[in-house]
Amino acid sequence: MNALPTLTTARLTLRPPVADDADALFATMADAAAMRWWSCAPFEDIDALRAYLADGSAWSVVHDGRVAGFVSVHDRRPEVTEIGYLFVHAARGHGIAREAVAAAIAERFAAGYRRIFADTDPDNTASIRLLEALGFTCEGRLRGEWRTHIGVRDTLLYGLLSDDPR
């Protein structure tokens, strides 16, 4: 994947992470409740979080001068990318996630991707609501798909094609 470009929306800047972003995200990403649905256990070490954010596959989401979360994209096949996102507690409930994820989706489709998918835990109702609001379709359930820090979990696969109505 090439370096992600900086994106701007009405309220947000999505930019490649810098080392200091880990400071803003650590409290959330070290919190078991906030990380319940994430694919890895809560971070115990800020340096591990810095390394995690430095892999080049995410945008830090900046709102009012503070990092509010991140949106990640991982190429899985040609023209197909997986999207994920996580936001700090204070950013939730203000439409920031929807605005940020919509910007990332628009950029990926403009860059030539034909399909974006997300995999989410069936009990993660906030993520499911967001995906459906952005036009994603639930394409199926994979039983016992992930062994995570909270046990073996099913996953729901949501997909969005570049020519789907939004």
Burial 115-133 (b: 16+ CB within 10 A, else e): bbbbbbbeebeebbebbee
Residue 15: what residue type?
Answer: R
Q: Are 19 and 46 in contact (CB under 8 A)?
A: no
pLDDT of residue 1: 56
Under-50 pLDDT residues of the chain = none
pLDDT of residue 111: 97
pTM: 0.94
Condensed to tens digits (0 to 9), the pLDDT of residues 38-62 reads 888 999 999 999 999 988 899 999 9
Q: Which residue has the tokens 């920031």?
A: 96
pLDDT of residue 56: 86
